[in-house]
């Protein structure tokens, strides 16, 4: 799937839910499905600064596509990491660069995050 198709899929999942309690549950579920990041990748150079929680992202180019791994010590943030990985991992760098995460605004997540979490999301 393309970046746009992945964004649309997540947007549909979230907009099909009636309330934010269910949306947060989906976000947490996505984070749990991400699993644990290998400790050798949870290093300082992969840590995202500007986040209230601890967040690690690691990206590498493999066979012309970006492979992205990530983790967080906070469940909601880990769900945000999982969404970004779902959208951007296994995509060509050129496609990633021309595809901003517009789905985040469309699902309204930006309106339901604290200012420090918004900063962290922007840093990711």
Q: Give the active site residues.
A: 51
What CA–CA distance (Å, rounded) separates 81 from 115? 17
The one-character DSSP state at 69 is: E
Supply the DSSP string of 73-104, one letter for each residue.
SSHHHHHHHHHHHHHHTTB-HHHHHT---THH
Cβ 79 vs Cβ 112: under 8 Å? no
């Amino acid at each position: 799937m393309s970046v746009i198709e992945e964004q649309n899929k997540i947007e549909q999942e979230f907009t099909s839910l009636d309330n934010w309690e269910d949306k947060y549950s989906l976000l947490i579920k996505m984070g749990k499905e991400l699993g644990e990041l290998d400790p050798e990748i949870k290093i300082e150079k992969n840590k995202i600064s500007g986040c209230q929680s601890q967040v690690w992202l690691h990206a590498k180019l493999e066979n012309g596509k970006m492979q992205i791994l990530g983790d967080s010590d906070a469940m909601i943030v880990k769900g945000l990491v999982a969404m970004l990985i779902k959208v951007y991992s296994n995509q060509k760098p050129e496609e990633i660069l021309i595809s901003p995460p517009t789905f985040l605004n469309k699902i309204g997540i930006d309106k339901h995050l604290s200012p420090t979490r918004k900063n962290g999301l922007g840093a990711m």
